Structure 1
Amino acid sequence: MPYVGRMRISPKYDVAGGVGDLWTELKRPQPYRWPILFASCALTGLGLYPFIKERVYPPPPKPDIVYLTSFAPDRTDAEIIASNVENQERKEARQRLLDAQIEKRREMYRALGQATGIDTDKMEAEIAAEKAREEAAEKARLEQATGGAGNDSADDRSE
Structure 2
Amino acid sequence: MSFWRRISPRRAVEDFAHEWRQPAPHRWKVLGVSVAATFFIGMMFVPKSQRIEPRPPEVTWITSYAADRSDAEIAASNLANQQRQDEIAARLAKREEIRKNLYRELGRATFLDVDEMERKIAADEAAAAARASEAATGAAPAN
Q: What is the TM-score normalised by the length of structure 2?
A: 0.58
Looking at structure 1, the residues matched to 53 and 112 of structure 2 have their Cα atoms a distance apart, in angstroms, of: 60
Return the letter of the residue paired with 1:116: T
Aligned to 2:120, which of 97, 102, 126?
126
**Unaligned ranges ≥5, structure 1:** 1-35, 40-48, 149-159
**Unaligned ranges ≥5, structure 2:** 1-13, 18-34, 44-50
How many residue pairs get aligned? The number is 102
Greater length-normalized contact order (CA 8 Å, ≥ 6 residues apart):
2
> Cα distance 1:84–1:115, how it changes in 2: closer, same or farther (>3 A)?
same
2:68 is matched with which residue? 74
Give the CA RMSD over aligned residues: 3.2
Looking at structure 2, the residues matched to 104 and 60 of structure 1 have their Cα atoms a distance apart, in angstroms, of: 45
Looking at structure 2, the residues matched to 113 and 125 of structure 1 have their Cα atoms a distance apart, in angstroms, of: 14
Q: What is the TM-score normalised by the length of structure 1?
A: 0.53
- Aligned-pair identity (%): 38
Deviating more after overlay: 64-73 vs 118-127: 64-73
| 1:16-35 correspondence runs (5 A) | none
| 1:76-155 correspondence runs (5 A) | 76-147=70-141
Looking at structure 2, the residues matched to 116 and 60 of structure 1 have their Cα atoms a distance apart, in angstroms, of: 53
Moved over 6 A (4+): none
